[in-house]
A and B are shown apart, each in its own frame.
Chain A
Amino acid sequence: MSYSSYITWRDQPVPLNPDLTIVIPTYNESARIVPTIASIVAHLAIRPESFEIIVSDDGSTDGTPDLVRNMGMRNVIVLAPGINRGKGAAVRAGVAASGGRLILFSDADLSTPIREIDAIIDAADSADVVIGSRGTVGSEEAEKSTIRRLTSWGARKVTRLGLGLDLADTQCGFKLFRRDAAMALFSVQRVDGFSFDAEILFLARRLDFSIHEVPIRWIDAPGSTVDPFRTALNFLVDVVRIRLQALIGRYPRVRPARGDATLERGLRLAVVTALPPSTATLTEYGHHLVRHLADKPEVSELIVLADDRDGLPESSDAYCVVAAWRFDSWSTPWRLWRAVGRTRPDVVLFNAHFSSFGIRRVPAALGLCMPALLRLRGVRTMVLLHNIVEKVDLSAAGYGNSPARLRALSALGRVMTKVVLRADWVATTMPSFVETLRESYGAQNVSLTPHGTFETPLAPADETVDGRRRILAFGKFGTYKRIEDLLDAHRILLDRGGFDDVEVVIAGTDNPGAAGYLESAALDYADLPGVRFTGYVHETDIADLFESASAVVFPYTATTGSSGPLHQAGCYARAVIAPRLGDLLELIQHEGYAAEPFEPGEPDSLADAIAAVLEDGEHRRELGRQNYAAAIGLPLADICDLHVGRALRLAS
């Protein structure tokens, strides 16, 4: 392969189920991981297989995960739960996240040169598990220290006597598995430490998977982070433990059931979400999420488990809508449980945040328990989590001002976060959310799945069609989205003069937790000219709404995750006027948007920002162009590929 092919591999996603996944467990490998990945990529690039690399970090404290992320390789996945559990746990997490039809794990020091994979892959035609071996005829060892020779010899004896393994080398960190074998073995494997190799091979023998040893050349790479004496002692203890686990029946005697048939017949996917006309939250996102998921060829059947409080959305040719829960109702868990039982999906995806299932705390919490409860029932569950409690200013978001109440809510939110993390997989829309869930909760089943943009019209107009200057605020108002500062800013501009033609459009409805807010605000500002309330905006009117705006303003007092209106503003190449608030700024910077900033809670600052955008046409158009460029870079259609890929992996 040429360098240009490498560039393609680096930048373009490989298929959801590539031919090969390389899992590299790491612990403080900052000095070696980059050269190792470079060598692996360079070698695999000349082979015909499509491949991905998963770096599964085991709580490094030297920045190894960031080093890998900063390499900017699209097909290198970093798993970094932030805790140190052991090599076995890291490899297990990597295998669980893998998509390859063949899965190899390789030590980060490349003591076994990557070229040895050629013979290993060839051998996989006739074996379920192929292991690199330093003990068979034809193998070579170089630079091996006496201590390592002794420990290797000891390990061979112990595994032979303790586990009955007649293999020449169980500990070489270079093992390849056919996918079904990997999934079966790692799903029942228990050892977190270095002895997991022996356990895996013991299980492979027990479950009647074929094992083939391939002689390899091995070079001792200095700089190992392993203490040989402690490792040897732990190895002995683990071998005894493995034997005991087997004796008391903790390991299965038959292979776990396989779900690979899902890949052939297609995925039966259920999405738990509110859809229009529901007045619950995330309805717009839910609508577009479902629409794009339905377009995916891997999804053979799409079932929408919908909220029916405000009427049931219609089914379409692409998906079937089932009334399965009701916003703010205690009956939600029971109804969802029954609906999943009736529809029998392979995977259930929840489109949710912390008040998706209700404003009242109990219905909201009950709904959030469902991913974990369904998982206990054997149903695979994924949660697309749009916010986390650590990132929400509860007071500013309208949850009251009492410190005791806020502390209690925060504690409840953390408990619910732990419950949500009991799902098979949790995707969040912001990098900082992923970081928090990994660092504060030790979650390993979390990944970043950006919000994505719903539509990407070709060449949207720079200016409004009728030439009138219009400021748009869009959303569900009354909690942390409040219009007082915007209307005050509008009044300030009218008083300054030169802005008489400007219209402020408040598009959307009350937040479910703030009924009557917009009506009350409209009465309070009845004397203010140039203000229009549209009420609920139907999906078919969204394009006209944004295209008729000169800029989109975000009159927020707090943020609760990624922003749908921001992405919609980008789709229609609109300038954005945004408050200096943590999440929103992070989102803007992370996804490449641009905004005219203002200080939240300061109408004068907002008035200045609006004036800056309206009076400088070139600045306004430049903001719009940048936002459009950011929007088309992350379409929801592509984001849905990530969801489908994850669901396929869970199902299989």
Chain B
Amino acid sequence: MPTAIHPPGTLHITTVETVVTLPPRFDVHMVAPLLDLLAPFTDIAHHVSLDGSRVEHIDNAGLGLLQELREAFGIVGGEVTLTNMSLALRLGIELSGLPVELCDDLLLDLGTAA
């Protein structure tokens, strides 16, 4: 397990539990940095928690990435969860038309949404 990673941009891992804080603008510009950041964890079963509390805008690229990560982590027995979802993130997911099963999974942590 990594102990400290300093990713590019506003993304950063805050604990060894691999909590990744999503940026305020989670759009196409953030896809590559986030993929780079999480690439090491897709080789083994790993749990990554995405903290969505700061998200003010998520576009379709960001939403697509969430889905992609879920599949990539699932293949190796890991998982991705969303925590502390901001209202913008929650509405972005709800209104996006993402596959329901993904929304259901991602919405497991909605109890903490604003």
Contact = CB atoms under 8 A, between A and B. Distances in A.
B57 A45 contact: no
A42 B113 contact: no
Given A39-B57, A114-B57, A3 B92 contact: no
A113 interface: yes
A1 B90 CA distance: 13
B59 A35 contact: yes
B108 interface: no
B59 A113 contact: no
Interface stretch (B24-32, B40-48, B73-81): B24-32
B91 A42 contact: yes
B63 A35 contact: yes
A90 B73 CA distance: 44
B95 interface: yes
B29 A6 contact: no
B72 interface: no
A143 interface: yes
Contact of B92 (A38, A46, A219, A222): A38
B48 to A, nearest CB: 22
B13 interface: no
A14 B94 CA distance: 22
Nearest to A220: B29
A625 B98 CA distance: 36
Given A3-B87, A38-B91, A41-B91, A31 B60 contact: yes
Interface string A73-99: 000000000000000000000000000
B110 to A, nearest CB: 8
B95 A39 contact: no
Interface string B82-95: 00001110111011
A32 interface: yes
A221 interface: yes
A115 interface: yes
Contacts of B16: none
User: Which of A1, A35, A110 has the most CB atoms of chain B within a 10 A radius of its CB?
Assistant: A35
Contacts of A639: none
B114 interface: yes
B90 A3 contact: yes
B56 interface: yes
Contact of A143 (B29, B57, B97): B29
A243 to B, nearest CB: 38
Nearest to A110: B57
Contacts of B114: 1-3
Contacts of A3: 87, 90, 110, 113-114
A335 interface: no
A110 B114 CA distance: 22
Contact of A35 (B24, B60, B87, B110): B60
Nearest to B96: A34
A45 B95 contact: no
Given A43-B56, A114-B56, A34 B29 contact: no
A39 to B, nearest CB: 4
Given A3-B110, A42-B87, A221-B28, 6 more contacts: A38-B58, A39-B92, A42-B88, A42-B90, A113-B25, A114-B57
